[in-house]
Amino acid sequence: MVALAWVPFVMAVHLAEHDPELLRGLISATFLLSFAHQPLTLALVYGDAEQFRLRRAVFTLSPLIFAIAIMVATQFDPLVLAVVAGLWNAEHTLMQRYGITRIYGRKAGQDDGRLEKAMLFSWLALAVVVVAGDGRTPGRLARMGLGDTNRLAVEMLSRFRSVAAVLVVPVVLLVAALVLAWLRSEGRTGARANPAKWVYVATTACLFLVILIDPIAGLLGYVGAHAIEYFVIVHQSLGRRYADGSSGQSSALGRAVRARPGRVGFLAVYLGVILAVVTLLQWYGSVTIYLVVFFTLGGLHVFYDGFIWKLRRPAVARSLDLPKRLA
C-alpha cells in the first residue's frame, strides 16, 4: 500500500538510532534508493519516441545545459546549489504526493485539486519553518553524517532560524484554515468521496507530523517513500501502456517491457545499471564528477516529470486507469 510506504523507513530509523554506524548505513541506503529512481525518467523519455516528441528540443538540449550549469555552480558556490537542489526536490516530492492524491480523486469524479495542493504545500511550509526554527536541528543532522552537500544545506537553513521562528504561528493558522476548508469540501462530495484518497491524505499528514517530531526519521520517510511510490507508478504505467502492445510498439522501452522478463526484468536490469554507475563513481569519480552526475540526473528527473506525467494527457490517463471523461 503506497500510502504507508514511508512507515518502514521511520521504523528503521528508530531501531537504528542507538547505533550511529547502522544509522549512517540506513541513511546512505535510503539516499541511494532515492538516487536510483531518478534516471528512470530518462528511460521513459529516451526509450519512447512518442514521449521524446513531446518536447524534442527540450529533451535534446537539456542534458547538456544542466551539466554545464551544474559544473559552473560547483566551481563558484556549492552551498547555493545544495540549497536550490534540496528545495526543488522537496517541492517535487510533494508534487508527486499531490499527483497521487489527484489520481484517487479523479477516479471518484473529483476534477479540481487546487485546495488539496494549497493544503499540502502549507504542510511542507510548516515542516520547513518548524525544523529551521528549532535550534537543535543543525546538531541533530550533523551527528547523522549526511555528507558535505547536505551539511552545507543545513548550515544555510540554520541562518534563517530567527525568521522561521516568527513564521511558525502564521503558518500554523494557515494550515488549520486550509485543512478545515478541505474537510468541508470533502464533506460536500457525498457518495462521490473516495476513502482511498482520504487514507492517502491522512497518512501524508501523519508523515509531516513525524517530520515535526523527529526530522531525521521524517526526512528518510519522505525521501524513501517518494522513490518507492515512483517505482510503483512506473511499474503500473508500463504495464498498461506497453505490455499489451497497444502503445509504443516500435519503441525500445515497449520492446523491453514486452520481452519475456517483462516489467520486472526491465526494472531489474535498470537497477543493475544504476548500481554499476554508482560503483564506478565511488571508485573512479572525483567530487566534481560525482556532483555533476548526481545533480544533472536529479535535475532532469524533476524537470522531465513535469512534461511526461500530465494526467490530462490521454496516454497518461490510460496508463493510470483514469476515467476517459476526465482525461
79-135 pLDDT, tens digit per residue, is 677 777 878 889 999 999 999 999 888 887 777 788 999 999 999 999 988 888 777
> Which cell is 16 given?
537504528
Decide: 221 and 207 in contact? Cβ < 8 Å.
yes
More confident residue, 12 or 165: 12
Q: Give Dmax (Cα) for the chain.
A: 59
In terms of phi and psi (left: phi > 0; alpha: psi -120 to 50; beta: otherwise), the region of 102 is alpha
Best CA proximity match to 121, nearest among 87, 146, 148, 149: 87
At 316, which amino acid appears? V
Residue 37 reports pLDDT greater than 90:
yes
SS3 per-residue string spanning 6-65: CHHHHHHHHHHCCCHHHHHHHHHHHHHHHHHHCCHHHHHHHCCHHHHHHCHHHHHHHHHH
In tens, the pLDDT along 249-260 reads 667 888 888 888
Phi, psi of 310 (to 5 degrees): -70, 115
In tens, the pLDDT along 47-65 reads 988 889 889 999 999 999 9
- How would you label 198-209 residue by residue, b for 16+ Cβ within 10 Å and e otherwise? eebbebbebbbe
What's the rounded Cα separation, in Å, for the pair 205 and 54?
A: 35
Other Cβ atoms within 10 Å of 249 Cβ, number: 11
What's the rounded Cα separation, in Å, for the pair 298 and 34?
A: 9
Q: How confident is the model at residue 272 (pLDDT cuts 50, 70, 90)?
A: very high
Under 8 Å CB-to-CB from 293, ≥6 apart: which residues?
277, 281, 285
Q: Which long-range contacts (CB under 8 A, 24 or more apart) does 140-143 make?
A: 140/215, 140/216, 141/215, 141/216, 143/20
- How would you label 69-89 residue by residue, b for 16+ Cβ within 10 Å and e otherwise? ebeebbeeebeebbbebbeeb
At 180, which amino acid appears? L
Residue 179 reports pLDDT greater than 60:
yes
* Average pLDDT score, the chain: 85
More confident residue, 181 or 107: 181
At 286, which amino acid appears? S
